[in-house]
Structure 1
C-alpha cells in the first residue's frame, strides 16, 4: 500500500520556486499543523538548505550519531532522502534538526558499497529499490510496510515533484502563492519533466481549498485526479 503523498511548495505568482521573498516562517508554521509520518526531501533541496555541495562532509560527532535515541513512539516525522549516488555526507547537520524523528535514505542497486558502509557506520537506515535509480513506487511501499508511514509531505524542487507526478504517486498539491513576479527564462517551476507529446498527458487537478493568509499570500490546495 502506498502512503498519501502531498507535494508542498512556496511559489511566486508566476510559478517560480526561487528568486522571490518566500515567507519561510509561514511555510513551516502551516506544515507543522499537518498530521504526517514523513517528509520526503530532494538532494538539491537538502544541500541548498545547508549551503553545501555534493560530497561535502561537515565536522561530526560520530559517537552522538551512532548512539542517538531512536524511540518507536516518537510522534515526529521521519526525514526521507533519495540518494542512489551517495552524494549527501552532511548527516551531522541533519540530525540537529529538532522537528525530525530519524532519517531514512533511499538507495538503488547501483549505490556504491562504500556509501552503504558510510550509512551503516552512522546507524542510518536505508532502503534499496531499483537498479540504476531509486524505484520511488517500491520505496514508498516499503516505507509504509516497514516503518508504518501512511502519509508523507514532499519538500522538494521540480525534478522530484515531476517524477512523483508522472508516476502517479502524488495525491495532493499545496501551494503558498506569494504576490511577487520573478520573470526570466530559466525553468525552475514545481513541475519539471519532459514536454508532453499531446494534451492527453496533462495532469488534471481539482481545487479543494483556498485561503488568503497574511501579506496577501494565498494557500491553494488541489487534489490530483487519477
Structure 2
C-alpha cells in the first residue's frame, strides 16, 4: 500500500524555488492541515547543514527513546550515495520523532555500518538508485505511514511526479519574478517527447494533469493553490 504523498513548495511567479524572499513561518504553519506521518526531504538540504552541525559526541551512539504517544513525523532522506553525516545533529532538532535513511544496493557498506552504529533506521531498495515506490510501501508497512509531505527541491519532486507517486501538489506563489538559468525550479525532470500527432496546442506525452482543489489569498499577496493529481 502506498501512502498519500503531498508536494508542498513556495515558488516565485515564474516557478523558481529560490532567489526571492519568503515567509518561512507562514510556509510551515500551513503544513499542520495534512497531519503528516513522514517528511520526505532531499539530501541536498541536509548536506548544507554540515556547516552548522557540531562534531559528534558519545550521544550519537545512544539508542533513541521511543515514545508511542509522540505524534511528530518521521524524517526520511533518500541517500543512496551515503553523503549525509549529520544525523547526530538532526536527532537534536525538535521537529521529528524518528529518522530513516533510504539507500540502494549500491550504497557503500561503510555508510550502512555508520547508520547502524548510530541507530538510524535504513530501508534498502533499488539497484543504483533508491526505488521510491518500494520505499514508500515499506514506510507504510513498517512504520504505519499514511501521509507523506515532500519538502524537497525540483529533482526529488520530479522523480516522485514522473513515477506517479504524488497525490497532491500544494504551492505558495509569491509575487516575485526571479528569472535566470541557474535558479532551481519546482519540477526538474528530463524533457518529455512531443505529442505523437504534433498537433498545435497539444501537450507532450506524459504531461501530468492536475485538478484545482482550493485557492486562498494569504498575507503578502501570496496565493496558495492546492491541486489533486489526476489519475
TM-score after normalising by structure 1: 0.94
| 2:57 is the counterpart of 1:61 | yes
Query: How well do the aligned residues superpose, as a CA RMSD in angstroms?
Result: 1.5
1:133-212 correspondence to structure 2 within 5 Å = 133-186=129-182, 188-198=184-194, 199-212=204-217
Larger radius of gyration between Structure 1 and Structure 2:
2
Could you list the runs of 5+ residues in structure 1 that have no partner in the other structure? none
Counterpart for residue 105 of structure 1 = 101
Task: Identify which range, 103-112 or 183-192, moves more after superposition.
Answer: 183-192
Corresponding residue number in structure 1 for 2:221 = 216
1:65 touches 1:95 (CA, 8 Å); kept in 2? no
Question: Which residue number in structure 2 is paired with residue 88 of structure 1?
Answer: 84
**SS state at 1:32 partner:** helix
Q: Which residue of 1 aligns with 2:110?
A: 114
2:10 equivalent to 1:10 = yes
SS, match of residue 173 in structure 2: strand
Separation (CA, whole Å) in 1 of partners of 2:128 and 2:153: 21
Aligned residues: 222
Deviation readout 1:106-150 (Å, 9 max, x if unpaired): 011111110011001111100000111100000000000011001
Tell me the alpha carbon deviations over residues 158-178 of structure 1, each in whole angstroms, 9 at most, x when there is no partner: 000000000000100000111
Residue 28 (1) aligns with residue 33 (2): no
Shift of 1:195: 0.5
